[in-house]
A = this chain, B = another copy of it.
Amino acid sequence: MGVMSTVSSGQHTRPMCYLLLLMILQLGLHTAEGVWPLPQTLISSTERFHLSPQAFYFGYGRQSAAQQGCSVLDAAFKRYFALIFPDYTSGRWNLFSDKNESKILLQICLFSVDHNDCDGYPNESSSERCKHKRLESFSQLVYQDDFGSYFVNKTDIKDFPRFQFRGILLDTSRHYLPVQAILKTLDAMAYSKFNVFHWHIVDDPSFPYQSRTFPDLSSKGAFHPMTHIYTQSDVRRVISHARMRGIRVLPEFDSPGHTKSWGKGQPDLLTPCYKGGIPSGTFGPINPALPSTYHFMATLFKEVSVVFPDSYIHLGGDEVDFSCWKSNPYVRAFMQKMGFGSDFTKLEAFYMENIVNITSALNKTSIVWQDVFDYHERVSTPQQITHINYEVRSTYYAELSRMTKAGMRVVLAAPWYINHISYGQDWHNYYTVQPLNFSGTEEQKKLVIGGEVCMWGEYVDATNLTPRLWPRASAAAERLWSDEKQTSNVDMAFPRLQDFRCKLVRRGIQAEPLYVGHCKQEYQGI
């Protein structure tokens, strides 16, 4: 067999970056298999190509704007070669099996590439029609026959994501997750085409982020100052690993609530609570009445905005308990001075606006949890704020309607709180979500920029993260990537997801089973 080159038909050519691969899907025995998440169109034929790992290689098409030296693609070629031919790279390949094969070249064409596609960080405007997400689809189409030979059927795929924001939240405060666990999650995210890692890095229980400016935050606020922290180098490693996989890293420094651990390393940051007219010794949310608070936050976010290159920063703003603020006479006096009366939502809004102004000045887009929207309805709202809805499923349609009507961009998280486990095939619940099925105009629906799977950490650490996340999160991944009409049936999706789960296991991801059955290669990492 000769060179397998890319073909560009008129029908497929687009002015913007576009990619065509010659791909394969075996019919018959392999119909249950395929690509997860489902491409927008996938036309397969019975014509199949024998792929020899000895002779196969990836290359850049002549017409491609990207060429060798494009670091993200060069690395992806290498990674995907090993994923496609695991027998070969592990040294178990029989050299005699395909000595007669001639070279096969799979060409990648990027017709338009901007600087970021090769050497920068993925961002909200990155075109996902291109790049290595196509390598993922291709890798899923390659299969082995009973003798171990690799094949791919001629397949024509047109693909792009339905939503631009497809995130996974990990919580590294309630339990510390070793860097290796995060990197493994990023690997698996790429396999399901997630593109945002929402890093809920600090919270009440611990502050593992080792700040350059305020080292006491982690040395006093982490579970352990040496073993349970993320150093600057750890963070760089996570961001770099994510970048190579087309994944943005969105850091969250949640305030003014959820900050108990911050208080250990930063005196006078938290509000002292009062009881019977005197300080009780306990502390509440961040103290919004002190100028020093805003100075500290500005300094911290200045550092964060440099360390994390993404254009978004998540500011939290959820679940603020007002009782401690109410108990504190200095906070109450501040309220009077500011004319807030006894409306603590105004104080919360005042605080959040200050923080949003800080991050705006750093040229970052702020994301906050939905709570903040409720307060901000009454005050001026910077347009760049994107809310994440975390209400229960029964009400989130109403919330989406209300928030998009107010012009807010929204990321939907409510139906994908995947830490809430239950017995049985609960992936159905994540799969059958209809993110745009709320009452609103077309303009409103465009404001839903995507969705996010949240793995809160109360009951999750490195021991159980992976099997709880995968393949349950992959169900949400298809909802966010694929055409809803083509993927509305759970029974149709089941065998393809089951097959995809076995692919994850084969790739070393400890993804749990969906139901009774087996994989050709069971998990061996025990």
Residues of A within 8 A of B (CB): 174-176, 178, 180-181, 184, 205-206, 223-224, 227-228, 419-424, 457-464, 466-467, 505, 510-518, 520, 522-526
Contact across chains for A518 and B421 when beta carbons are under 8 A apart = no
Contact across chains for B174 and A516 when beta carbons are under 8 A apart = yes
Nearest CB in chain B: distance from A369 CB, A: 19
Chain B residues in 8 Å Cβ range of A524: 178, 180, 462
CB-CB under 8 A for A175 and B463, given A422-B421, A422-B423, A423-B420: no
CA distance A422 to B512 in the complex (A): 16
Contact across chains for B517 and A175 when beta carbons are under 8 A apart = yes
CA distance A361 to B282 in the complex (A): 72
Contact across chains for B461 and A512 when beta carbons are under 8 A apart = yes
CA distance A512 to B180 in the complex (A): 17
CA distance A205 to B422 in the complex (A): 23
A424 nearest in chain B by CB position: B459
Contact across chains for A523 and B420 when beta carbons are under 8 A apart = no
From B460, B516, B522, A178 is in contact (CB under 8 Å) with B522
A176 nearest in chain B by CB position: B518
Known A227-B522, A464-B513; further 18 A-B contacts with Cβ < 8 A: A175-B517, A176-B522, A178-B522, A178-B526, A180-B524, A184-B526, A205-B517, A223-B518, A224-B518, A419-B423, A422-B422, A424-B459, A461-B518, A461-B522, A463-B511, A463-B523, A464-B467, A467-B467
* Residue with the highest number of chain B CB atoms closer than 10 Å, among A223, A227, A517: A517
CB-CB under 8 A for A458 and B515, given A178-B524, A526-B178, A526-B180: yes
From B223, B224, B458, B513, A461 is in contact (CB under 8 Å) with B513
Nearest CB in chain B: distance from A514 CB, A: 8
CB-CB under 8 A for A423 and B421, given A180-B526, A224-B518, A462-B523: yes
Nearest CB in chain B: distance from A377 CB, A: 32
Chain B residues in 8 Å Cβ range of A178: 522-524, 526
Chain B residues in 8 Å Cβ range of A461: 512-513, 518, 522-523
Chain B residues in 8 Å Cβ range of A205: 516-517
From B462, B511, B520, A526 is in contact (CB under 8 Å) with B462
CA distance A525 to B524 in the complex (A): 12
Nearest CB in chain B: distance from A295 CB, A: 31
Contact across chains for A518 and B228 when beta carbons are under 8 A apart = yes
Nearest CB in chain B: distance from A457 CB, A: 7
CA distance A515 to B458 in the complex (A): 5
Nearest CB in chain B: distance from A498 CB, A: 12
CA distance A518 to B229 in the complex (A): 12
A-B contact pairs, 23 of them (CB 8 A): A175-B516, A175-B517, A175-B518, A178-B524, A178-B526, A180-B526, A205-B517, A223-B517, A224-B518, A224-B520, A227-B522, A419-B423, A420-B423, A422-B422, A422-B423, A424-B459, A459-B515, A461-B518, A463-B510, A463-B511, A463-B513, A464-B512, A525-B525
Chain B residues in 8 Å Cβ range of A224: 518, 520
Taking the full assembly, how many copies of this chain does it contain? 2
A513 nearest in chain B by CB position: B461
Chain B residues in 8 Å Cβ range of A422: 421-423
CA distance A460 to B227 in the complex (A): 32
Nearest CB in chain B: distance from A452 CB, A: 19
From B419, B512, B525, A459 is in contact (CB under 8 Å) with B512
CB-CB under 8 A for A457 and B526, given A422-B422, A510-B463: no
Contact across chains for A513 and B460 when beta carbons are under 8 A apart = yes
Chain B residues in 8 Å Cβ range of A223: 517-518
Chain B residues in 8 Å Cβ range of A516: 174-175, 205, 457-458
CA distance A464 to B423 in the complex (A): 13
CA distance A184 to B227 in the complex (A): 27
A182 nearest in chain B by CB position: B526
Chain B residues in 8 Å Cβ range of A181: 526
Nearest CB in chain B: distance from A521 CB, A: 8
Chain B residues in 8 Å Cβ range of A421: 421-423
* Residue with the highest number of chain B CB atoms closer than 10 Å, among A424, A518, A526: A526
A465 nearest in chain B by CB position: B526
A183 nearest in chain B by CB position: B526
Q: Which 5 residue pairs are nearest across A and B when measured between Cβ atoms?
A: A464-B467, A223-B518, A464-B512, A174-B516, A463-B523
A177 nearest in chain B by CB position: B522
* Residue with the highest number of chain B CB atoms closer than 10 Å, among A176, A419, A420, A513: A513
A175 nearest in chain B by CB position: B513
Chain B residues in 8 Å Cβ range of A523: 178, 461-463
Contact across chains for A206 and B518 when beta carbons are under 8 A apart = yes
Nearest CB in chain B: distance from A425 CB, A: 8
* Residue with the highest number of chain B CB atoms closer than 10 Å, among A176, A466, A510: A510
Chain B residues in 8 Å Cβ range of A423: 419-422, 459
CA distance A510 to B526 in the complex (A): 9
Chain B residues in 8 Å Cβ range of A525: 525
Chain B residues in 8 Å Cβ range of A511: 463
